[in-house]
């Protein structure tokens, strides 16, 4: 049983990473992570520390230059970093432990997915902001902002990493293959709204599209970690989101429609067809 729909699976993700690396002139088949992250550094306007020299995703607790700060602020959607944005010494020790535990949970659930995440995610940018747990944005592919309380169980960290990995997979796929026919503003208009699988409220088509892929991938993660209640909850809103997405496919390119069809097939195999859910 695949870990999730095609767009998040390692074979698809790594093919996109290879395409981008070739476009940027950095491709090296022996150094996929390094060549992909170097491509991002060349192509993207915002420049976080993606740690391309490392062989795995790194934790970044310190900002070394203006460009790195600008990238972090972009992801956090703030004009200025809050005074207490950094984890203190004790919190750093604990959060490192939680993330190590989270990596083991992900590796246990899917070794190939674990490798894929370490290939396309250069760094976890560690920064605290009251009321937020982290995130990612399409203009800073390859970096995940983590702001979780270190007291949270490792499962929350594992979910957060996989959640933002899925967003990065979709950002990358949209960059390489083009998913949507228009931008965020048009996709946020009333006729394009669809209920989000994650928040349970009406959101722009692109955001709800992302939410469905996130929800099913996190559901599969929790199924493999033997957390059936969490698995069932994550899938509970997917049918309504998917039906809404299918009804408004005019907002998708042929490629975006193909990815949605693949998601629909993944869901049908588990909880039935759209009309019968």
* Domain residue ranges in the chain: 1-177, 179-277
Q: Which residues of 100-128 are buried (b: 16+ CB within 10 A; e: fewer)?
A: eebbebbbebbeebbbbbbbbbbbbbbbb
Report the C-alpha gap between 159 and 165 in whole angstroms. Answer: 10
Report pLDDT digits (tens) over 193-215: 999 999 999 999 999 999 999 99
The structure tokens listed for 271 are 């909880």
pLDDT digits (tens, 9 = 90+) for 172-187: 999 999 999 999 999 9
d(CA 253, CA 99): 37
Name every residue whose Cβ is closer than 8 Å to that of residue 111 and which is 6 or more positions away in sequence: none
pLDDT digits (tens, 9 = 90+) for 237-271: 999 999 999 999 999 999 999 999 999 999 988 87
Distance CA 86, CA 102 (A): 21
Mean pLDDT of 61-71: 96
Q: Is the dihedral of CA 37, 39, 44, 46 positive or negative?
A: positive
Has residue 190 got a pLDDT over 80? yes
Q: Report residue 125 as tokens.
A: 């940018």
| Statement: the pTM of the whole predicted model exceeds 0.75 | yes
């Amino acid at each position: 049983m695949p870990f999730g729909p095609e767009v998040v699976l390692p074979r698809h993700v790594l093919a996109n990473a290879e395409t981008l690396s070739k476009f940027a002139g950095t491709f090296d088949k022996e150094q996929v992570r390094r060549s992909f992250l170097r491509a991002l550094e060349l192509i993207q306007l915002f420049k976080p520390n993606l740690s391309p020299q490392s062989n795995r995703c790194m934790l970044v607790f310190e900002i070394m230059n203006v460009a790195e700060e600008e990238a972090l602020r972009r992801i956090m959607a703030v004009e200025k970093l809050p005074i207490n944005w950094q984890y203190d010494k004790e919190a750093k020790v604990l959060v490192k432990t939680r993330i190590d535990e989270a990596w083991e949970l992900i590796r246990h659930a899917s070794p190939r997915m674990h490798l894929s995440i370490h290939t396309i995610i250069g760094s976890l940018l560690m920064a605290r902001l009251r009321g937020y747990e982290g995130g990612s944005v399409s203009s800073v592919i390859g970096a995940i902002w983590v702001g979780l309380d270190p007291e949270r169980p490792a499962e929350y960290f594992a979910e957060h990493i996989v959640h933002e990995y899925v967003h990065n997979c979709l950002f990358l796929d949209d960059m390489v293959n083009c998913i949507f026919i228009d931008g965020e503003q048009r996709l946020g208009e009333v006729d394009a709204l669809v209920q989000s699988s994650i928040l349970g409220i009406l959101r722009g088509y692109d955001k709800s599209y992302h939410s469905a892929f996130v929800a099913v991938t996190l559901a599969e993660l929790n199924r493999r970690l033997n957390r059936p209640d969490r698995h069932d909850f994550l899938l509970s809103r997917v049918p309504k989101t998917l039906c809404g997405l299918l009804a408004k496919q005019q907002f998708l390119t042929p490629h975006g429609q193909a990815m949605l069809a693949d998601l629909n097939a993944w869901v049908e195999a588990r909880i039935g067809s759209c009309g019968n859910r």
